[in-house]
Structure 1
Amino acid sequence: MVTDKNTAAGNTSTEVQRETLDAATDALVGEWLTLPDVAERFGVQVTRVRQLLRDNQLIAVRRGENNALHVPAGFIMGDHTVKGLTGTLTLLRDAKFTDEEALRWLFTPDDTLPGTPVDALRENRGTEVRRRAQAEL
């Protein structure tokens, strides 16, 4: 079952719920963090991480044996999210990307960057990434 809570119902939760995450997307992302792991890195409670998800500042998907929410580790640098991630996620949502499609877009290598869009964000090349995301509109 897939439940995309970013639909016209107006709910802003960013969860994608399914039995298992698409294997290709899972492999593209590579390393994942549970919500408690993210909270520990940020030095906050898990409820604050859930608020970041509701505020569309992060994407989490259900995966693994226990179907727990996981965030791509590439979205985190030290004790904060990667600079430019929130704006990029907003542009992709405006282009009607589902969370899983946004993950695939962010973690798929792009020879014109070079590297993946998330790598470019981590290297403070957010303008290039947002230009490409805006072209998806």
Structure 2
Amino acid sequence: MNENDRDTDTLVGEWMTLKDAAKALNVSPNRIKQFIADHKLLGVRRSGELCIPAAFISGGDVVKGLPGTLTVLSDSGFSTDEALQWMFTPDDTLPGAPIDALVENRGTEVRRRAQAMAL
């Protein structure tokens, strides 16, 4: 594991395997892979296994506003690691990390900031 992975792990905290994410969303692991391919979720390899941040799933569903935000970040040229770091890095002006704002249903401001970074 390189230093960037450790930094991302520190920011993200808890990870879910594809199997765990599939169970939480009541879909197949292949569907989770499709969500990742469609930028509805982000997945990275941890200890050889594809995982997603546990914070991306809440109440049996993908956090509201997450897919749109991930698409904006992807379209802006963010790598998976850069998008994860941005999503989980606290911002005093937000306040909290963008993922926290999405969980709290403050997605409009998060997407506005993501779009502004693309300019």
Quick check: TM above 0.5? yes
Q: TM-score range by the shorter chain?
A: over 0.9
| Alignment correspondent of 1:51 | 34
Q: CA deviation at 1:44?
A: 1.5
| Alignment correspondent of 1:97 | 78
Poorly superposed stretches of 4+, deviation over 2 Å: none
Q: 1:1-137 residue pairs with structure 2 within 5 A? A: 22-64=5-47, 67-137=48-118
Q: What is the RMSD computed on CA atoms of the aligned residues?
A: 1.2
CA deviation string 1:10-56 (max 9, x = no partner): xxxxxxxxx65611011100000000000111111111111111211
Which runs of no fewer than 5 residues in structure 1 stay unpaired?
1-18
**For residue 78 of structure 2, what is the amino acid of its counterpart?**
F
TM-score relative to the length of structure 2? 0.94
Q: Secondary structure at the match of 2:50?
A: strand
TM-score relative to the length of structure 1? 0.82
Identity %: 57
Q: How many residues align?
A: 117
- When you count helix as a share of all residues, which structure comes out higher? 2
Q: Secondary structure at the match of 1:62?
A: strand
Which runs of no fewer than 5 residues in structure 2 stay unpaired?
none
